[in-house]
């Protein structure tokens, strides 16, 4: 379970915005305050912040993106990769809504693969290794060229709010140097930098990323505004000098040819791909780790925060999977112009001397030199059940949270939240309806709904198993599902809309042709429903079908194969849609429902669901609780 923040609330109940004594008490004259006025201010320029700022700017909002270091805009703090199981679906969805992550990885990737090819099409997930520096520079350049967007190097010290008849309203942020950025919407995307503490063995240092510092002012502001602030932990593996690795003792893992793009705007990837490599730990490595567990911060009691269960440290793997005599390690190059290699699978916070002793025991790494040591990071986050489905906070109007501040882990989850927060901040200012994606519409919808409805007790990571309607949510059809939804908001441009129109016309042509053809006296569509039959097979039977785009034709094949399953799911979707149309009024009095269990009342009051559909997904809410709520609403 996530632990409460160790310092507790600071100055509970204070309604004025500044924590600076000379502003509160007026004991001395303050220096001249410089003010800048924007529609939207985004704090933090990682994957969430860049997507949030770009989305708001695309929608015509004058936006300021503030970061403590302009040299780390879009930086990959941990693994040099984008996508993966379910995460690849999210990247495709972000791209379908006009986001930048898919274009960035297409332009800077060094290896592309489609995971889960042996499984059904709904499980296929794209993943790409990235040139980390090239990716970062591409994103920074894109942000600098984006209309309506100003990128500034600033340290945010406080959140500014004002009391209104409807509650607290954000009015901007105070930055170091006594300057104020005024805005009606503020989006916090602070990553792992809030009161962050790094651990390598017994050694500790303040910072959210190696070589960088931490921030305190925002945490204090959140506590003062009565947000629940808790602590999570994450970690990162050592990096090795590739020139000192004996690849002859490792298994080569090449990329796929031809590489499949992430962005629906990318027609073809022509970059030369680089191989990754695989090696394994062994019993000698495990014995070394066990002998030094008492020095590992997670086991010595030095770290008490919860870490990501699905991305465990090597210490956790050795303890939790004690019967295994080896664990797979992936050696992933960090770029084309560097020899630095990321060791995926050996995230650790063990002391430096233990890390030094560990790698000589691993095949291929006997003479490997460590360039950066692994470490763990503890940081503040705000449990996301304090948010609305728009990612706006319930306590302060106009204040939005996105990324690891909401208890998630992963670049892709952060980017998706950033886009949702940026779009909804802009929509609110423009008087547009909120952009809320439903669970049957997108993995992004599953992600946001899970966060705001169920909260988190460990760092959240997306998996295909989290999506109950995943047969509808294939990575290949993300544009067909979402681009039209983004168009009215101004999230997608004319080029992307034309690309979707052309694709839709091609699909109609393919379907019309298939419906006129048969095989062995039966419709060709029936033949295509067989699991072992693919598009190349029907092209051999009817050669005229070879004229169509094979990638688009493959999507038609998937549509045909899944049609029966999707039709059955449509019944469930319609039932859930009826519940989602039954809205629960703001400020609804749950105390007035007789016979409602105390636990149910407490959870409903904390989450404040906006529909009966959302209420039914709150952990611990039973069908009986939902029936009482429905009856009372009637």
The pLDDT of 601-617, averaged and rounded, is 87
- Return the SS3 of 379: strand
Spatial separation of the C-alpha atoms in residues 184 and 398, rounded to whole Å:
6
Candidate from 19-33, 184-198, 374-388 with smallest mean pLDDT: 19-33
195-249 per-position pLDDT tens digit: 889 999 988 888 888 878 788 899 999 999 999 999 999 999 999 999 999 999 9
Q: Which residue, 403, 286, 412, is CA-closest to 354?
A: 286
Q: What is the CATH number of domain 493-580?
A: 1.10.10
Domain spans of the chain? 239-374, 493-580, 590-633
- Given a contact cutoff of 8 angstroms between Cβ atoms, the answer to whether 325 and 252 are in contact is no
pLDDT at 15: 32
pLDDT-derived band at 306 (thresholds 50, 70, 90) equals confident
Spatial separation of the C-alpha atoms in residues 489 and 498, rounded to whole Å:
16
The pLDDT of 268-282, averaged and rounded, is 95
Level-2 CATH architecture, domain 239-374 = Beta Barrel (2.40)
pLDDT at 213: 79
Q: Is a pLDDT exceeding 70 seen at residue 13?
A: no
pLDDT at 589: 87
132-166 per-position pLDDT tens digit: 999 999 999 999 999 999 999 999 999 999 999 98
Q: Which residue, 581, 587, 577, 591, is CA-closest to 628?
A: 591
Q: Which residue, 113, 140, 175, is CA-closest to 53?
A: 140
Q: Is a pLDDT exceeding 70 seen at residue 17?
A: no
85-111 per-position pLDDT tens digit: 999 999 999 999 999 999 999 999 999
- Given a contact cutoff of 8 angstroms between Cβ atoms, the answer to whether 196 and 207 are in contact is yes
Backbone φ and ψ of 217, nearest 5°:
-60, -40
Query: Running DSSP on this structure, what letter comes out for residue 166?
Result: T
543-581 per-position pLDDT tens digit: 999 999 999 999 999 999 999 888 988 888 888 788 777
Whole-angstrom CA distances from 594 to 628, 631, 633 are 8, 11, 13
Spatial separation of the C-alpha atoms in residues 202 and 204, rounded to whole Å:
7
Tokens of 489: 């908001």
447-479 per-position pLDDT tens digit: 999 999 999 989 999 999 899 899 999 999 999
- Given a contact cutoff of 8 angstroms between Cβ atoms, the answer to whether 90 and 444 are in contact is yes
Q: Is a pLDDT exceeding 70 seen at residue 18?
A: no
pLDDT at 581: 78
Q: Are strands 40-43 and 81-83 parallel, antiparallel or unpaired?
A: unpaired
Spatial separation of the C-alpha atoms in residues 433 and 431, rounded to whole Å:
7
Tokens of 117: 């090819």
pLDDT-derived band at 307 (thresholds 50, 70, 90) equals confident
The pLDDT of 502-509, averaged and rounded, is 96
- Given a contact cutoff of 8 angstroms between Cβ atoms, the answer to whether 384 and 452 are in contact is yes
Q: Is a pLDDT exceeding 60 seen at residue 2?
A: no
Percent with pLDDT over 70 in the chain = 95
Tell me the average pLDDT of the chain: 91
pLDDT at 14: 27
Percent with pLDDT over 90 in the chain = 73
The pLDDT of 341-357, averaged and rounded, is 96
Spatial separation of the C-alpha atoms in residues 345 and 312, rounded to whole Å:
8
First-to-last CA distance in the chain? 37
pLDDT-derived band at 30 (thresholds 50, 70, 90) equals low
In the CATH scheme, what is the homologous superfamily, with its name and number, of domain 590-633? GidA associated domain, C-terminal subdomain (1.10.150.570)
Query: Running DSSP on this structure, what letter comes out for residue 302?
Result: S
């Amino acid at each position: 379970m996530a632990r409460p923040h160790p310092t507790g609330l600071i100055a509970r109940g204070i309604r004025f915005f500044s924590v600076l004594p000379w502003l509160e008490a007026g004991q001395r004259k303050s220096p001249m305050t410089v003010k800048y006025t924007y529609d939207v201010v985004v704090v933090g320029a990682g994957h969430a912040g860049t997507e949030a700022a770009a989305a708001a700017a695309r929608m015509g909002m004058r936006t300021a993106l503030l970061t403590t270091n302009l040299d780390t805009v879009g930086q990959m703090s941990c693994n040099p990769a984008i996508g993966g199981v379910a995460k690849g679906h999210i990247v495709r969805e972000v791209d379908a809504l006009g986001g930048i992550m898919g274009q960035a990885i297409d332009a800077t990737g060094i290896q592309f693969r489609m995971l889960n090819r042996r499984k059904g099409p709904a499980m296929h997930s794209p993943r790409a290794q990235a040139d980390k520096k090239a990716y970062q520079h591409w994103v920074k350049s894109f942000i600098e060229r984006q209309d309506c967007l100003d990128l500034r190097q600033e340290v945010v010290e406080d959140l500014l709010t004002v009391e209104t008849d409807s509650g607290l309203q954000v009015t901007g942020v105070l930055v170091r140097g006594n300057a104020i950025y005024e805005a009606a919407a503020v989006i916090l995307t602070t990553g792992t930098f809030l009161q962050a503490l790094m651990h390598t063995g017994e050694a500790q240092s303040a910072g959210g990323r190696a070589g960088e510092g931490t921030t305190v002012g925002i945490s204090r502001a959140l506590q003062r505004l009565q947000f629940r602030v808790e602590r999570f932990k994450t970690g990162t593996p050592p990096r090795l000098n590739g020139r000192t690795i004996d690849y002859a003792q490792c298994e080569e893992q090449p990329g796929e040819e031809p590489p499949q793009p992430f962005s629906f705007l990318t027609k073809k990837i022509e970059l030369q791909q680089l191989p990754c490599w695989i090696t394994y730990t062994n019993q000698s490595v495990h014995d070394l780790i066990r002998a030094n567990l008492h020095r590992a911060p997670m086991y010595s009691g030095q770290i008490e925060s919860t870490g990501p269960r699905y991305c465990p440290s090597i210490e956790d793997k050795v303890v939790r999977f004690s019967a295994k005599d080896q664990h797979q390690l992936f050696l992933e190059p960090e770029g084309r112009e560097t020899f630095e290699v990321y060791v995926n699978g050996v995230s650790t916070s063990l002391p430096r001397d233990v890390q030094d002793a560990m790698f000589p025991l691993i095949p291929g790494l006997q003479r490997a030199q460590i360039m950066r040591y692994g470490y763990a990071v503890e940081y503040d986050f705000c449990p996301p059940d304090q948010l609305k489905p728009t990612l706006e906070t319930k306590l302060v109007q106009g204040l939005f949270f996105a990324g690891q501040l909401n208890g998630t882990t992963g670049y892709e989850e952060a980017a998706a939240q950033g886009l949702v927060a940026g779009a909804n901040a802009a929509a609110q200012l423009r008087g547009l309806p909120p952009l809320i994606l439903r669970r049957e519409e997108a993995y992004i919808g599953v992600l946001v709904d899970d966060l705001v409805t169920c909260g988190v007790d460990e760092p959240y990571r997306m998996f295909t198993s989290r999506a109950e309607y995943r047969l509808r949510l294939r990575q290949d059809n993300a544009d067909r599902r979402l681009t039209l939804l983004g168009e009215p908001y101004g999230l997608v441009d004319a080029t992307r809309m034309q690309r979707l129109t052309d694709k839709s016309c091609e699909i109609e042509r393919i379907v019309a042709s298939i419906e006129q053809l048969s095989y062995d006296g039966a419709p060709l569509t029936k033949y295509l429903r067989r699991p072992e039959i693919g598009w190349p097979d029907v092209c051999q039977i009817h050669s005229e079908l070879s004229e169509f785009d094979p990638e688009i034709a493959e999507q038609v094949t998937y549509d045909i194969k899944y049609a029966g399953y999707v039709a059955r799911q449509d019944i469930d979707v319609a039932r859930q849609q009826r519940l989602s149309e039954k809205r629960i009024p703001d400020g609804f009095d749950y105390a007035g429902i007789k016979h409602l269990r105390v636990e149910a009342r407490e959870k409903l009051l904390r989450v404040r669901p906006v529909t009966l559909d959302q209420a039914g997904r709150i952990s611990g809410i039973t069908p009986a609780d939902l029936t009482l709520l429905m009856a009372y609403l009637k």
